[in-house]
């Protein structure tokens, strides 16, 4: 069935090859300006990585919090609380490390 649809669309689809904008880079409906080879600030990547780390933290902690009452009833609540606290503590140390290095500041002076 897929082969038939592709073959039929190949014969029926209009072909316009003389539009100059057809082969340009798509920029959300805007015409591209300048070169695509520009230097991005590395802080974009640092902030994105920090966001991913703390986003994953939330994804990993949420299921633990939802079943914590069952762990309390089973007698392993303190053990689970220590594990969750250790996990959050390690991530908090990472956040403090990034903060101390100045990676969370958007306009940072680069020493020469």
| pLDDT tens per residue across span 29-58 | 777 777 777 777 777 888 888 888 888 888
Residue 51 lies in a domain: yes
Residue 80 lies in a domain: yes
Domain ranges, residue 33: 9-101
- Counting the structural domains of the chain, the total is 1
Residue 109 lies in a domain: no
Residue 4 lies in a domain: no
Per the model's pLDDT, the better-predicted residue between 110 and 3 turns out to be 3
Q: DSSP assignment, residue 94?
A: H
Judged against a pLDDT cut of 70, whether residue 27 lies above it is answered with: no
- The CATH number that applies at residue 64 is 1.20.58.1610
Residue 53 lies in a domain: yes
pTM over 0.95: no
Residue 75 lies in a domain: yes
Residue 38 lies in a domain: yes
């Amino acid at each position: 069935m897929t082969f038939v649809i592709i073959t039929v669309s190949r014969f029926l689809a209009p072909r316009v090859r003389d539009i100059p904008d057809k082969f340009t880079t798509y920029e959300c409906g805007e015409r591209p300006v300048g070169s695509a080879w520009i230097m991005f600030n590395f802080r974009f990547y640092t902030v994105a990585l920090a966001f991913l780390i703390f986003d994953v933290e939330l994804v990993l902690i949420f299921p633990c919090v939802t079943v914590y009452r069952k762990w309390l009833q089973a007698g392993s609540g303190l053990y689970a609380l220590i594990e969750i606290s250790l996990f959050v503590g390690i991530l908090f140390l990472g956040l403090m490390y990034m903060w101390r290095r100045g990676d969370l500041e958007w306009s940072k002076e680069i020493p020469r």
